[in-house]
Structure 1
Amino acid sequence: MKRWICALAGVIGLGGCGTTIEAYRDTTPRLVLEDYFNGTLDAWGMFQDRSGKVIKRFHVLIEARWQGAVGRLDERFTYDDGSTQRRVWTLTARGDGHYTGLADDVVGQAQGQARGNALRWRYVMALPVNGKTYHVDFDDWMYLMGDGVLLNRSVMSKFGVRLGEVTLSFRKREGRAP
């Protein structure tokens, strides 16, 4: 019993030790979604299970446009097995680097905050697997690297248990982000 209590205390103690978005406040180049996600972008990515094994690879073609504080990201996925998927995000800039987002397969509203070159984006996705749909938590971290390149690492979890990771590399086709 004592061992179990010590393990629980350790988990609770580690829970609050993660990096916050404020740690990136002074990093450059500065990520502004309205600037970076505007125009045509390509992204290449992979999904890894909790053991690190690559389960799926994919390419995403993104057409992104903003009108004032509202942006539309039309994402078209092509997976290594030839299957395709489309997701359309509606993003809203709320000021001071805060964003919200909606998409058909996102449960509720995504919440994001940008500081410096980074964005932390959190949401719940309705993920279909073998005929069933599971609500899975996503914790996305995006980092603007310069010359039009943005890196994205997403941790997927359910009930706090890590299921896997999605890694993406974005590149703007037209023009370049700082």
Structure 2
Amino acid sequence: MNRRRFTTTLLAAGTALTLTGCAGPQVQDYARETPVLNLRDYLSGPLTAHGMFTDRSGRVVKRFTVTMTGTWQGDSGVLDEHFIYSDGTKERRVWRLKDLGNGRYSGRADDVIGEALGETSGNAFRWRYTLALPVDGRVWHVAMDDWMYMVDARTVLNRTAMSKFGIHLGDVTLAFTKD
């Protein structure tokens, strides 16, 4: 019986260490990083972004350009995004944003399932949501783990990990420029 208890304890400890190692960064890890990303200021007015989607092997699948305009009234904002993809297709997403205070934000868009939740700290913003993504005539609900990092007053770099059922599907990488 003692041997079984030892084995069970050892397995539990190993599992805990493994899960802790997979925890990944938290937005508070960037609290001391500058320049500080004030999301409302950055997402006000015109912006342009250039990006790409890579599959899980790292192969570039699509490239795109996004022109955006952000407006705020009180603690409510709208980010109107217009995508043009390398294959000529176009897409529009309109985010309705809410500043919840203390660096926390929520957002909704027509192709987002439920509510997106995000938080800023230092130069970073982490945004998580589920996207209804059309793929080969079907719609997949894909988990998006979206990180933005302010580089300077005009530039924000963005990387989004996409997954379904915990399986990594690929990444979206963007470079935003404030016009």
TM-score (norm 1): 0.90
- The correspondence for 1:122, drawn from 108, 128, 146, is 128
- The correspondence for 2:164, drawn from 148, 158, 162, is 158
Deviation (angstroms), 1:11: 4.8
8 Å CA contact retained: 2:133, 2:140: yes
8 Å CA contact retained: 2:129, 2:144: yes
Is 2:16 the counterpart of 1:14?
Answer: no
Q: Which amino acid aligns with 2:89?
A: S
**1:61-114, CA deviations, whole angstroms, 9 ceiling, x for partnerless residues?**
001101110110000000011110000000100000000000000000000000
Deviation (angstroms), 1:14: 2.9
Which residues of structure 2 form unaligned runs of 5+?
Answer: 1-6
- The correspondence for 2:58, drawn from 30, 52, 56, is 52
User: What is the SS of the residue equivalent to 1:127?
Assistant: strand
Partner of 1:176: none
Counting aligned pairs with the same residue, the percent is 50
Partners of 1:165 and 1:138 in 2: CA distance: 9
Is 2:26 the counterpart of 1:26?
Answer: no
Partners of 1:142 and 1:93 in 2: CA distance: 17
**1:10-43, CA deviations, whole angstroms, 9 ceiling, x for partnerless residues?**
7534332x11111111111111111000000000
Partner of 2:116: 110
1:167 and 1:144, CA in 2 relative to 1: closer, same or farther beyond 3 A? same
Partner of 2:72: 66
User: What is the SS of the residue equivalent to 2:157?
Assistant: strand
Q: How does 1:84-103 map to 2 (within 5 A)?
A: 84-103=90-109
Q: CA RMSD in A?
A: 1.6
User: What is the SS of the residue equivalent to 1:140?
Assistant: strand
Which residues of structure 1 form unaligned runs of 5+?
Answer: 174-178
Deviation (angstroms), 1:147: 3.4
Partners of 1:55 and 1:48 in 2: CA distance: 5
Partners of 2:22 and 2:157 in 1: CA distance: 25
Q: How many residues align?
A: 168
- The correspondence for 1:79, drawn from 85, 89, 92, is 85
TM-score (norm 2): 0.90
